[in-house]
Amino acid sequence: CRRGFARRPAGLYDQSPPGAIVPSGNLAMPPEPAHTSPAPLWRVLAITFLLSVGTGSVTQGLYFIADATGQFDRPALYLLGVVMGAVYIPAALAAGPVLRRIESKSARLTPRAMLAGMISLGGIAALIPPIVARTAADPAPTIWITAVVYSISTGLMWPIVEWYLSGGRKHAALRSATGKFNITWTGAIVVCFWLLYLFLDRAPLDVLGLLALLHVAGRIVVLGLPERPAPPLDRHDPHPPVYDQMLPVARRLLPISYLLMSALSPYLVGALGQLGIELKWQPVLASIWLVARVAAMTTLERWHGWHQSWATHITGATLLALGFAGCVLAPAADSLPLMLVSLAVFGVAMGIIYTAALYYALEVGGHSADAGGTHEALIGIGYTAGPAIGFAAALSVAAGILPDNAFSLAFVIAAVAASSVGYALSGRNRAE
């Protein structure tokens, strides 16, 4: 949904690991929090659930909603994904610097206040298409507006939520908290897809109106958070050294997994149709990978033997490749069972990769909005690159360069090639 999309300023990119975003000399750092206790986990999880239904409705469900309006062809669906990812990246990276700047201007502009503001902005953005549709005007242009504004608000919002999650927690406590966080937001996105089933063939834009109400509820829950997250515990309880080796690998796999996921999401709209699935049932079947992701994250939340093990990364990467290839090739094979099994395999892989990436980011990278911002920006890279590949392939078909029946093959080859090149280049850059 998540989550989601440098290494430590006060957070993740610093030598602090290499690539740090360091505040300028004249920029005052926020004062130390007056409290040392972590934010109440139940409250963080409640906010996470409410806002994840909304985020899922946009980042995952907006393709189905846009397609249901009849105003978006295949290239436009992919371009919608490119736009959402392209604005999400700078918003996520800006979360930490923006917080430091506004807190240097006024003590009243706290992380809690910024979080509340971004929640309100996202809710307003979601209301635009259903309101316009009520006036009998074409809602298609407003879907673009919602995609841009909502992506900006969530790019700034999720790093702060993850800061509240990690502040004051380390090791087993942090693994348990991030595990519950992962189960909560991925479970919420499953709920989102099932809501799409109820509305998609009758009033698809009403889903956006519903998520605006969820933002109102989230805004209320935020009031109970402390003004600032608790300080980190790093100086008192350092992490195992092997984590420093595992974090770069997790960070290389994370954008690749979201590249493939972002390419797959709009692709499923047409692929399930080719397999004879009615539009209203498509989100339900597409949610198979989401359910499998929840199952994987639940397992990793209960069983902590995965951390410090390289088998976690290897298993996640292998299942990701197999699941993606099966999903994309299933329509050509005219095999619905292959599609369903591949979706489940893909979901398990996404759960493994995301769980490892978030845990090592927060454990190693520092507990700040910068840590979450880096994590979310990497997700944003995937959110952008995946649809960009699909957009290029769709334009090639529209221009007659590729026959329509070659779209799937060209798409999977390009996505896998981009993933392989991206993984190799990121590894070389880190080595240098």
Give one DSSP letter per residue of 342-366, joined into a string: HHHHHHHHHHHHHHHHHHHHHHHH-
Condensed to tens digits (0 to 9), the pLDDT of residues 336-355 reads 999 999 999 999 999 999 99
Locus of tokens 């690749």 = 256
pLDDT of res. 257: 92
Name which of 12-21, 219-228, 239-248 the model is least confident about. Answer: 12-21
Which of 92, 98, 97, 229 has the alpha carbon at shortest distance from 164? 229
pLDDT digits (tens, 9 = 90+) for 44-72: 999 999 998 877 777 767 877 787 777 78
pLDDT at 368: 61
SS3 292: helix
For residue 11, the model assigns a pLDDT of 32
In this prediction, residues 242-258 reach a mean pLDDT of 87
pTM of the model: 0.79
Place of tokens 């309006």: 69
Which residue has better confidence, 413 or 432? 413
The Cα–Cα gap between 172 and 35 comes to: 21
Region of poorest pLDDT, from 13-17, 177-181, 224-228, 312-316: 13-17
Residue type, 275: L
Token pair listed for 363: 């454990």
d(Cα 49, Cα 68) in Å, to the nearest integer? 26
Q: Where are the alpha helices (DSSP H) in 17-73?
A: 41-59, 62-68
Q: What is the pLDDT of residue 69?
A: 74
Spatial neighbors of 350 by CB under 8 A, at least 6 apart, are 257, 261, 289, 293, 296, 320
Q: What CA–CA distance (Å, rounded) separates 351 from 342?
A: 14
Average pLDDT, the chain: 81
* Residues 40/180, Cβ–Cβ less than 8 Å: no
Q: Which residues make Cβ contacts (< 8 Å) with residue 380, sequence separation at least 6?
A: 4, 5, 85, 88, 89, 92, 155
Confidence of residue 426 (pLDDT cuts 50, 70, 90): low
With H, G, I as helix, E, B as strand and everything else as coil, classify residue 380: helix
Indicate if the alpha-carbon torsion angle 223, 224, 225, 228 is positive or negative. positive
Position 117 scores a pLDDT of 94
In this structure, how many other beta carbons lie within 10 angstroms of the beta carbon of residue 235? 7
Question: Residue 339 has what pLDDT?
Answer: 95
